[in-house]
Amino acid sequence: MKTRIFVLILSMFLCLTLHAELKWEQTTLELKPALGDKEAVGHFKYENTGNTPIHFKSVRTSCGCTVAQSQHEEVPPGQRGEITATFKIGDRTGTQVKTVTVETDEAARAATILTLKAVLPEMLSMTPGFVFWMAGEEPKPKTILAKAGKDFPAKNLTVTSSNPDFLTKVEPAEAGQWKINVQPKQTTRMMQAALTIRPDFPKDSPKIFYANASVTGAPMATPAPKATR
């Protein structure tokens, strides 16, 4: 009986003293990629401060534009490492927030959410990004104002329409701003176009932006003449 009690107490003692703990240097990173960067990379560093190994079960990202991977599948006591999260910038602008869910065999905390915040420079904004005419409306030009961000040193831009029935013309406005005049040839039927906007920066691989134009709705019916006796 005494032996059993001793073994039980020893087992309880071992359970209390043996533990695994993954300590993160930080779980939120804010990155500020430079203009022209194609990706933003965050390094989430950790250390096993416990006295038993920790095993990674899975590392998942919140979207397909972000890839994450761990240095090790098993982290012995005292070992350091990191989870690397790579965010593909593409044509995105503004603040982008992506998360990485890390699952381990820790008893106290099986999952940890890592947050990657990328503050991307504003390149070119369009106001509005969509112009339209009602069917039967007079086909007068409508204007889209294109404005370059403070860190986007474009000097000129060109605009092409996917539909030849929409005419486009670019006029310089204030410094770093352009007026894009869009005009349909007719408004008697519904049609639409994608406007491709190409600044002259970066010179080796200019960024491409888009706006839209359309003629929508049904034309107003012409009243029938009144019958006369």
Mean pLDDT over all residues of the chain?
88
143 and 115 part of one domain: no
pTM above 0.75, yes or no: no
Which residue bears the tokens 């194609």?
38
Domain extent, residue 62, equals: 21-120
Instruction: Give percent of the chain above pLDDT 90.
Output: 70
Per-residue b or e along 44-61, where b marks 16 or more CB atoms closer than 10 Å to that residue's CB: bebbbebeeebebeebeb
39 and 51 part of one domain: yes
User: Using 50, 70 and 90 to split pLDDT, how confident is the model at 1?
Assistant: low
> What is the number of domains present in the chain?
2
| 52-101 pLDDT tens trace | 999 999 999 999 999 999 988 999 999 999 999 999 998 788 899 999 99
Write the CA distances from 161 to 87, 88, 125, 165, 226, integer angstroms.
31, 28, 18, 9, 44
Of 96, 120, 144, the last residue of a domain is 120
Residue at 176 is within a domain: yes
105 and 150 part of one domain: no
The pLDDT, as a whole number, for residue 2 is 53
Indicate which CATH number applies to the domain containing 143.
2.60.40.10
Residue at 228 is within a domain: no
d(CA 155, CA 160) in angstroms, rounded, equals: 17
Of 59, 92, 120, the last residue of a domain is 120
Of 120, 151, 178, the last residue of a domain is 120
Residue at 158 is within a domain: yes
116 and 40 part of one domain: yes
132 and 195 part of one domain: yes
Residue at 153 is within a domain: yes
Residue at 222 is within a domain: no
What's the chain's Rg over C-alpha atoms? 30
| 188-219 pLDDT tens trace | 999 999 999 999 988 887 888 999 999 998 55
| 10-32 pLDDT tens trace | 444 444 455 668 999 999 999 99
